[in-house]
Structure 1
Amino acid sequence: MLISPSEKQLEIIRQQLGREPRGLAGIAVQNDQEVPLVLQMDLLVDDKPFPTLYWMASKDIYQAIAEIETAGAVKELEQELIDNEALRAEHLADQQRYVDLRWASASEEQKQRIEELGFTPLYSKYGIGGISQWDKIRCLHMQYAYHLAQGSAIGRILDERYELHSKIASALI
């Protein structure tokens, strides 16, 4: 369920982003202290497609994921997608579910504007994080944001290997 941010949460989001939020549809995930962890974004921002539906807002979780990416996890996971057919199938299903969810989240007015601008094909082509090659991983931050909001194979692996889920309760910003 999408949460409309309170004034306090908007201030936290400004601190998290380091700027005024643009294209914010609402909070997709927050912790028990009501700290926004994942933001849901509008499909269009200033008449341009926003590359992702979910945006990792928590700086604490963002930093933990940055360290995991720096250690080479993206290449390792992409190799696993090649080697493990079941994981690959689950990941591709996650991509399709994401595309379907993203389009379903649009209002009729948004869909009409997207069609007027000629962007409709983009919303069926680009998966998690705006990637067109669905068997690849563009960004673990966007993968994990999607996982927290909806659940995903890559996010589950990140929780199992790196215990990212343990950072959720303690995230302060």
Structure 2
Amino acid sequence: MTLSPATEADVATITAHLGRQPRAIRAIAARCPSGHPAVIQTNPRLEDGTPFPTLYYLTCSQLAAAISTVETTGVMREMTDRLADDADLAAWYLRAHQSYLDERNALGDLGTQVTAGGMPGRVKCLHALVAHSLAKGPGTNPFGDEALELLTPHWPTGDCA
């Protein structure tokens, strides 16, 4: 993963995609195929000091819409059910959670074990898990990786902004 500073153009694109100013932005953590910001890394606290445990935040509106489409298929329940039956998968997901927590705590310890997306016990939000996979690369988050595979027919490969 290579973090890059957010340029004024990046912030303008993120603002357009979110429909509001991004909060607690630290850096661009991943870009969509057309080069626009897709995931930002955020500070563990908002500007007013409020805890913000989501270290990687999805900002691409087209990607968010594609993930929402996948979420409607019931895949999150199936993923969560697999955690109870597959010890290796559960251990991998726990490692993803711990890695996320360690990285966030290095920036500012919130005193909580809450990370994102339901980790480590369930799959609650594919948006957060995909953001984690895009930011850190394949092999980091098993369900983020799986969701990315499911998105292939839905997420554009051209100019999305």
TM-score normalised by L of structure 1: 0.81
Instruction: Give 1:128's match in structure 2, choosing from 101, 109, 116.
Output: 116
Residue 8 of structure 1 aligns with an amino acid whose one-letter code is A
Assess, with a 3 A threshold, how the Cα gap between structure 1 residues 9 and 26 changes in structure 2: closer, same or farther: same
The alpha-carbon deviation at position 35 of structure 1 amounts to 0.3
Whether the 8 Å CA contact 1:74–1:137 is kept in 2: the answer is yes
CA distance in 1, matches of 2:56, 2:64: 13
Displacement of 1:53 after TM fit? 0.1
Structure 1 runs of 4+ with >3 Å offset: 163-166
Contact residue 92 and residue 142 of structure 2 kept, 8 A = yes
Structure 1 equivalent of residue 147 of structure 2? 158
C-alpha contact 2:70 2:151 (8 A) present in aligned 1: no
SS across alignment from 2:116: coil
Instruction: Report percent identity of matched pairs.
Output: 29
Determine the structure 1 residue equivalent to 2:98.
Answer: 96
Aligned length: 156
1:59-138 equivalences under 5 Å are: 59-104=61-106, 106=107, 111=108, 120-122=110-112, 125-129=113-117, 131=118, 134-138=120-124
Identify if the C-alpha distance between structure 1 residues 171 and 33 changes in structure 2 by more than 3 Å, giving closer, same or farther: closer
Determine the structure 2 residue equivalent to 1:28: 29
1:148 aligns with 2:134: yes
Partners of 1:53 and 1:164 in 2: how far apart?
A: 24
Per-residue CA shift, 1:43-92, capped at 9, x if unaligned? 10011111300001111111111011111111111011111111111111
Mapped partners of 1:165, 1:28: distance in 2:
23
Where does structure 1 lack aligned partners over 5 or more consecutive residues?
115-119
TM-score by length of 2: 0.87
Higher helix share: 1
Secondary structure in structure 2 of the residue aligned to 1:49: coil
